[in-house]
Structure 1
């Protein structure tokens, strides 16, 4: 091979190797953003235009309340805030927000046919660590309890929960005002009687079929089923509207001696009482007692029967 041919071959190899290195470096270093797939960086619309992903900003919902059948309207650029997957009010309530609540109280006091609806929002990706069916209802009850602490009667407050995936927390996972408040007029006497009768019936069902919570050996947390959460919500409503009290009774199997089991039953009853208080029931509305091993509902000679006897009964009086 002549020197000229070797020279040309070297130039060709240099071009090939250079092209490979250029392509490799282009897609890994120099123009990394251009190599990102449309789903990662930008997406093409049907007409060929490039659209950038939307940036979600935190949702800021001010406290806004209006009586559509009256002359009351109030709005303040503050609200009750909550951490995600939590139903306790975040931070202390400001004095300006308290002034707004005082105005709501004055209006409700002077208009006895008015009631207050509180709807709490929740997202479907939140973890419900409350005793209520959803975090929205738990948040609404937390705000209700605060209203009650400001001397607004729980009998004129109705609480609801609503799924709302449009609310966005901030970088610290705080939701600003995931609530809606409304004042409405109770004018239909027949409808009011129907609702009162329905509530009384629900409360009677709880007396006949108490909320049962079972304890496993070494269990430290309380995980309620959807049915148990709904029954707890009904119990909470009975306490608010009918001024009843809650009776928490601890039971045990017959393992060990009677005195020990009586104490064990009371310990479990008190743990449920603490749980109810954490979920917004006033301690003055709860009585905790124990019957130990004296009231079995199943056979203590089997492990399955003993498990049923290790229970807490939550009912109303």
Structure 2
């Protein structure tokens, strides 16, 4: 082998060895580091595993320290206000005990606070989903011997609640047994003000010719809640729904149409947890217009249902 050939081979060998060394000491560590960063990034991007919130039933009388507890509670589907069945036997036993205690102690009352999250959609007739849920539980208590006069309902936003994979909220509610002051007349005064307010400004629903649904705004939902609150506290109180029509057609048919509209509104309220025994319906047909029936605009105003108190 000539000196020139040996020289060229030496250069080639040096290049090969240098390339190998460069790969192992420079490229390979960089690639490994990049792969590790990718792995870390993938780990970070993995969805967070959320554990469903599960609140148990607990009602405590702060005055006597008496407690009613159950490992279960009332549960609700996401964006829903109907109780999920079945209710556990253990919870039923505690409800029966609490009902007996409250009935034996008329100076006591129970506050029910229903919770909801900002991710849920309120389709109820109440101002918020928490109130609708509290009302559903109130109805359950009443069906098990408790008087609605000793139950107060509230609604509150709580974004700390987490549903399970089936979108079920476990116990989105809290309870507190309170003692009423016999000399306190504020509740009676508030009910009188509530009555006068509702009578002065009743809920009015307008109906198109083929209305098949009721969509309430926030103020209308608030009026319904106030009416329910009022009739819950007074045995003699009830909600009055009166149907009205324009003057199209004969009076007999319009009286029937007005009653159909009143019954439609009643069924809507009942489906939202308002007791049917607390609702009375009637029809005035075309007899009490509030606008000129000679115009389409006037007729539209006359096709209405008025929801108020007896």
Fold conserved between structures, TM > 0.5: yes
Alignment partner, residue 280 of structure 2: 287
Which of 210, 228, 233 is 2:225 aligned to?
A: 233
Aligned match of 2:263 in 255, 270, 281?
270
Between the aligned partners of 1:162 and 1:64, the Cα distance in structure 2 is 18
The 1:188/1:302 distance shift into structure 2, 3 A limit, reads: same
Q: 1:131 offset after TM fit, Å?
A: 0.5
Q: Distance in 2 between matches of 1:283 and 1:113?
A: 28
Is the Cα–Cα contact under 8 Å of residues 107 and 182 in structure 2 kept in the other structure? no
Larger Rg: 2
2:146 maps to: 152
Q: How far 1:37 sits from its partner (Å)?
A: 9.6
- 1:103 Cα deviation after fit: 1.2
Residue 300 of structure 1 pairs with residue 293 of structure 2? yes
SS, match of residue 308 in structure 1 = helix
Hey, what's the Cα distance between the residues in 1 that align with 2:301 and 2:196?
24
Give 1:104's match in structure 2, choosing from 98, 104, 114. Answer: 98
How much does 1:256 deviate? Answer: 2.2
Shift of 1:189: 2.1
**C-alpha distance 36-226 of structure 1, shift in aligned 2 (>3 A):** farther
The answer for the alignment partner of 2:4 in structure 1 is none
Q: In 2, distance between residues paired with 1:222 and 1:41?
A: 48
1:16-35 correspondence to structure 2 within 5 Å: 35=38
1:213 counterpart = 2:199: no
Q: Report the Cα distance in structure 1 between the residues aligned to 2:228 and 2:180, rounded to whole angstroms.
A: 22
Contact 2:107 2:180 in 1 (8 A): yes
Select which of 122, 128, 132 maps to 2:126: 132
Residues 118-162 of structure 1 deviation map (CA, whole Å, 9 limit, x = unaligned): 000001121111110000001000000100001111001000000
The answer for the alignment partner of 1:114 in structure 2 is: 108
Normalising by structure 2, we get a TM-score of 0.84
1:19 equivalent in structure 2: none
Unaligned regions of 5+ residues in structure 1, if any? 9-14, 16-25, 44-51
What secondary structure is seen at the aligned counterpart in 1 of 2:153? strand
Aligned equivalent of 1:87: 81
Q: CA deviation at 1:300?
A: 1.2
Counterparts of 1:227 and 1:271, CA distance in 2: 20
- Partners in 2 of 1:237 and 1:186 — Cα distance? 17
**Cα distance in 1, alignment partners of residues 95 and 75 from structure 2:** 15
> How large is the Cα RMSD of the aligned pairs?
2.6
What TM-score do the two structures reach when normalised by structure 1?
Answer: 0.83
Instruction: Tell whether 2:44 aligns with 1:42.
Output: yes
Q: 1:171 aligns with which of 165, 175, 184?
A: 165
2:214 paired residue number: 222
For the Cα contact (< 8 Å) 1:64–1:74, is it kept in 2?
yes
CA distance in 2, matches of 1:189, 1:37: 66
State how many pairs are aligned.
284
Instruction: Tell me the SS of whatever aligns to 1:228.
Output: helix
Gap change, CA 1:242 and 1:34, over 3 Å in 2? same
Matches of 1:127 and 1:303, distance apart in 2: 35
* Whole-angstrom distance in 2 between the partners of 1:292 and 1:112: 44
Post-superposition Cα deviations, 1:204-240, rounded to whole Å, max 9, x if no partner, equal 2212322111112333221111111010000001110
> Which residues of structure 2 form unaligned runs of 5+?
1-7, 13-18, 20-30
CA distance in 1, matches of 2:142, 2:100: 13
| Partners of 1:233 and 1:205 in 2: CA distance | 13
Q: How does 1:61-80 map to 2 (within 5 A)?
A: 61-80=55-74
